[in-house]
C-alpha cells in the first residue's frame, strides 16, 4: 500500500471515532442552537431544515453564528468531536456544554498556559 493511501486510511479511521447516531444527535443540537441565536439576536425564525438555517445564518456577519456553522461543517465531514490540534476525542461533557468546542482539554490547557506566559 502506498504511503499516501496508508495515511489516508489512518485519517479515515480517526474521523470515524464518533458514531453516526452521536453525530446525528449533535447535528440536531447545533442546528437548534443556530435557530435559537437567529431568533434571539436577529429576529429571524427559520422553520426549514439544516441547509435553510445555514443560508439564513450566512446573511449575518456574526462570529457566534460562524462558529456554529463551522461545527456543522465538521459534523458533515465526520470530524466533529475531534481536537483540531491533536485529533484526540473531545469528551462528550465538553461538547454538551460547548457545542462549538474545537480543542480537547489538554490542548486547551496548553494554549492557555502559553498565552499566560507570553504576557
Q: 70 by DSSP, 3-state: which?
A: helix
One of 1.10.287, 1.10.10, 2.40.128, 1.20.120 is the CATH number of 3-117, namely 1.20.120
Closest-CA residue to 22 (of 80, 67, 73, 94): 80
pLDDT tens per residue across span 63-78: 999 999 999 999 999 9
Residue spans per domain, the chain:
3-117
pLDDT tens per residue across span 26-62: 999 999 999 999 999 999 999 889 999 999 999 999 9
Amino acid at each position: 500500500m502506498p504511503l499516501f493511501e496508508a495515511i489516508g486510511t489512518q485519517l479515515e479511521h480517526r474521523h470515524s471515532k464518533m458514531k453516526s447516531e452521536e453525530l446525528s444527535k449533535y447535528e440536531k443540537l447545533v442546528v437548534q442552537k443556530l435557530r435559537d441565536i437567529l431568533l434571539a439576536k436577529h429576529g429571524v425564525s427559520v422553520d426549514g431544515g439544516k441547509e435553510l438555517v445555514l443560508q439564513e445564518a450566512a446573511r449575518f456577519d456574526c462570529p457566534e453564528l460562524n462558529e456554529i456553522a463551522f461545527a456543522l461543517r465538521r459534523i458533515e465531514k465526520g470530524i466533529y468531536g475531534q481536537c483540531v490540534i491533536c485529533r484526540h476525542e473531545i469528551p462528550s461533557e465538553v461538547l454538551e456544554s460547548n457545542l462549538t468546542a474545537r480543542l480537547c482539554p489538554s490542548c486547551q490547557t496548553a494554549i492557555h498556559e502559553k498565552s499566560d506566559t507570553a504576557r
